[in-house]
A and B are shown apart, each in its own frame.
Chain A
Amino acid sequence: EAQVTQNPRYLITVTGKKLTVTCSQNMNHEYMSWYRQDPGLGLRQIYYSMNVEVTDKGDVPEGYKVSRKEKRNFPLILESPSPNQTSLYFCASGWGRVDSPLHFGNGTRLTVT
């Protein structure tokens, strides 16, 4: 089954404790992206990747890191989480062409206390 898999689904952590949210897709998509979604603010892009070893900042990259060592994986790293990073996070993938939709993972609800 074609899918984007994120883990974990739920995560509660404390300020400053490094964490990684994993994202994997099995569709051989070149484009992958991370979004956060907060009430009233819609989807905001954190980082994106056009291909292996190619990553770039989105609209809200501060406090986040990513890597793209393999085509299928695009982990999101929070080196020192803060409470303002409490949010619902989505990973998405696609072909990166103008006619291509994005396919979303199931989401990760992160709470930083």
Chain B
Amino acid sequence: QKEVEQNSGPLSVPEGAIASLNCTYSDRGSQSFFWYRQYSGKSPELIMSIYSNGDKEDGRFTAQLNKASQYVSLLIRDSQPSDSATYLCAVNIRNSGNTPLVFGKGTRLSVIA
């Protein structure tokens, strides 16, 4: 079982709509969850972190965490063409061996004007 899974997309949404990006993870004991945005050819940029069940809002972004179901979501309200990017989910997976964070492969979002 992959440790952090994301739908690769592309997810296409019209401008002004809500984009919903999902991520599931394998470790029930995971405590920290991060969303990164990556434009093509650029480095991943941290946009949200969440540690507790529920919602966390920051501007147009809302992260949602459900530890019982082992998923974390990112909602982008009023999507703009500038939000078109790949979104990476990162989770601390215990006993992952190599790293404090394990990354999903990312979901490509396309916002259509």
Contact = CB atoms under 8 A, between A and B. Distances in A.
Interface of A: 31, 33, 40-43, 45, 48, 56-59, 88, 90, 94, 96-107, 109
A42 B104 contact: yes
Interface in B68-113: 88, 90, 92, 98-101, 103-106
B98 A90 contact: no
Contacts of B41: 88, 107, 109
Contacts of B98: 45, 48, 56-59
B32 interface: yes
A95 to B, nearest CB: 8
Nearest to A106: B43
B17 interface: no
23 contacts: A31-B100, A40-B8, A40-B105, A42-B103, A43-B88, A45-B99, A48-B98, A56-B98, A57-B98, A90-B43, A94-B101, A98-B32, A99-B31, A99-B51, A100-B100, A101-B34, A101-B46, A101-B49, A101-B101, A102-B90, A102-B100, A106-B42, A109-B41
B43 A94 contact: no
B46 A103 contact: yes
Top 6 closest pairs, chain A to chain B, by CB: A42-B105, A104-B43, A98-B92, A43-B103, A99-B32, A107-B43
A104 B101 CA distance: 13
